[in-house]
Structure 1
Amino acid sequence: MPKLKTRKAAAKRFKRSGSGKLIRRKAFKNHLLQKKGADRKRRLSQFAVVNERDAENVELMLPYL
């Protein structure tokens, strides 16, 4: 069998947690930050678990993760 290619855009956005779940960064923390409160920005800095319905597609994009 030939080797499968990793989608590099997905490899930069997702990684595995210690328990094996896929984790991602949260959206809305790139720009226009002065109008957002400190609590909101702190919450957006945390990682989130990828939804189980989306995780199937992410795993196809990252065959060796």
Structure 2
Amino acid sequence: MPKLKTHKGAQNRFKITGTGKMMRMKGLKSHLRRNKSKRARRQFDEMIPVAKVDVQRLGRLIPYGSS
């Protein structure tokens, strides 16, 4: 069986934690950033878990986890 290829776009956008949870960054991060409050800008830097319905689909794009 040939090796599975990792989708590089997905690998850059999603990270897998040590416990196997898939994390992502928030959207709307840079558009009109100057108008956003400091608190809102700071919260964009946090990673949040991927929705359960998307985890299986993304797992096919990142078959070996992220490196």
Pair 1:37-2:43 in alignment: no
Distance 1:28 1:58 in 2: 21
Question: Unpaired runs of 5+ in structure 1?
Answer: none
Cα deviation code 1:14-50 (max 9, x no counterpart): 1111321000111111231110001111111100000
Q: CA RMSD in A?
A: 0.9
Aligned counterpart, 1:17? 17
Aligned counterpart, 1:46? 46
Distance 1:26 1:37 in 2: 16
Count of aligned pairs: 65
SS of the equivalent of 1:34 reads helix
Q: Runs of at least 4 residues of structure 1 off by over 3 A?
A: none
Distance 2:22 2:49 in 1: 6
Distance 1:40 1:30 in 2: 11
The letter for the 2-side match of 1:44 is F
Distance 1:30 1:61 in 2: 26
Distance 2:10 2:36 in 1: 27
